[in-house]
Amino acid sequence: MKKDDVFVDTNLWIYLYSDKEKGQKIRHLIDESYENIIISTQVLGEFFYAITKKGFKNRKEAEEIVLDLTENFRIAPINKSTVIKAIGLHLRYTYSYWDGLIIASALEKGCKILYSEDLQSGHIIENILKIVNPFKEIGRDRQ
């Protein structure tokens, strides 16, 4: 049986490449969901910006990581429908527009889980997408 697709938010990729303790937890999550992970073009851009701005990686290292991510995971492009959906999510749920764009990308790709530390863990969007903070008790969040 095929596992459900999952979306991994920017901050978790940053931890994977910058924080040994949190990175181990994220590595396990990624290994567990490897074939089903989706990333958006927004996440790739935010990752590159943040990992270089905070000095965790130089620009060349960050570029290599982004290229590796694009080779290993499915990428969700941001398009007109994603933007319109993000605005609607922002208005309905009061998430920021940028968080709405992450959620809209996950929904458009049919993901069942959005892993994020920044969003409201346990919140279910449109009866489809569950937000899960992997640093909280995962067994409780998946129920």
Could you report the per-residue pLDDT of 57-109, keeping only the tens digit for each?
A: 999 999 999 999 999 999 999 999 999 999 999 999 989 999 999 999 999 99
Tell me the C-alpha to C-alpha distance, in Å, between residue 113 and each of 22, 52, 64, 83.
19, 28, 27, 20
Q: What is the DSSP letter of 131?
A: E
Structural domain includes residue 23: yes
Percent of the chain with pLDDT over 70: 94
Q: Which residue has the tokens 């959906």?
A: 85
Structural domain includes residue 115: yes
Q: Residue 42's domain is classified under what CATH number?
A: 3.40.50.1010
Domain extent at residue 19? 6-142
Structural domain includes residue 47: yes
pLDDT of residue 120: 84
Task: Look at the chain and report how many structural domains it folds into.
Answer: 1
Structural domain includes residue 82: yes
State pTM to two decimals: 0.89
pLDDT of residue 1: 56
Structural domain includes residue 1: no
